[in-house]
Structure 1
Amino acid sequence: MELTELARREAVGTKYSAEAMQRAQALTWEATEKIAAMIKPGMRESEAIAASKTLLGTLGMDRIWHPVLIRFGENTLRTFSERSDNDPVLGDDDIYFIDIGVVFGAHEGDCGFTRTTGSDPEMQRCALDAKRLFDIVHQHWRAEGVSGQALYEFAKAQTEAMGWVLNLDIKGHRVSDFPHAIYKGGKLGDFEGTPNGGLWILEIQIAHPTRAFGAFYEDLLI
């Protein structure tokens, strides 16, 4: 990839600052934790999304930059672009994830994580391993300075070693000062260069090899 193409894929606007980017991410994490605290067994997926939007409106955000995504049960296997199947009720022994993208201070925060209800050991391990895989892959990027493509090849191998299946339709993406979409950065997993910190979201979505559930975790590469 030519230097000019690398620069175009990582272009930012005049408002951008690394400090503002990390502040937006921290505030987005705080918001996501507050959403998780509201989600209880017996709640429908649509009810959780509606309550989350109401909560976000009280937290001083500029705007939501991508739809609030909350998945219960089997819907944890679905990607961002896929619609949920029906409107499931969260069970007493279940799994769910949250994914929000919110603008704070003209910068885009984006994070997601998986939680469980009850005590199903495989669901609990899946949720924990999504975070553990993120940490392993994040550290590999820090230590080795690999390309986005190589990063997801590494992620796939690590996921399989843990006994899960990596969804390679989910490959991370750009963020920056809003709106990042004008820069057309593409997917992190298709990026041929070494991604710089503070500009890319690393996404990990895994699935159980035989049961109908999965887990998701994403955060900013820093």
Structure 2
Amino acid sequence: MSDDRFLPVSRRGVLATGAATMAVSVTPAFAQTHELTRSRSSAGKPSMAKVSFQVNGEPHSLELDTRTSLLDALREHLELTGSKKGCDHGQCGACTVIVDGRRINSCLTLAVMNEGRQITTIEGLGSPEAMHPMQQAFVEHDGYQCGYCTPGQICSAVAMLDEVKAGVPSHATADLTASPKLTNAELRERMSGNICRCAAYSNIVEAIEEVARGAA
């Protein structure tokens, strides 16, 4: 009596059987994905939403694709190009702005998430004719080279000094029960999210320290 389990099987037969099995399992999933893609493309325009906020003291109302980042809203829709798009992944800090008094990476937040908020960009801190003390210190200490990171550096530094005044600790703060002191280590830790590819860090530190002394 023969046992079919022990019949010889060719390599071609094994491959053919596997391919057929894979086709049966993959085809429904592919068809479902294709149908979903087709339904999305046939939907037409992307989802839009209205958002209103204050930027540098002025009210703005925009209708935007809900996927628009705050950075793109500022640069592309309000033409405030001081905030730079560096990595677009929240790693370099070039896009730093101040929202309700706190510094954030504007590339990592959607514009529609900032409804009703107060936003300050580098343009709102000062102008060439009336510079903010931090801007003036960066000029005097040559705290920039190519200048691409400078708007984010300055916005971050201004908000960082407010954090220190408010008693917000950092990873470098030794005593969490005491008011933090802006030591060199504290300053460098707090500004570590802002990258300068020209490596003007020592000049940036000097500029921030000068403003901190004047504000003390």
Q: Same fold (TM over 0.5)?
A: no
Give the TM-score normalised by structure 2. 0.27
Higher relative CO (CA 8 A, sep ≥ 6), structure 1 or 2? 1
Q: Normalized per residue, which structure has more strand? A: 1
Give the TM-score normalised by structure 1. 0.26
Q: Which protein shows a greater Rg?
A: 2
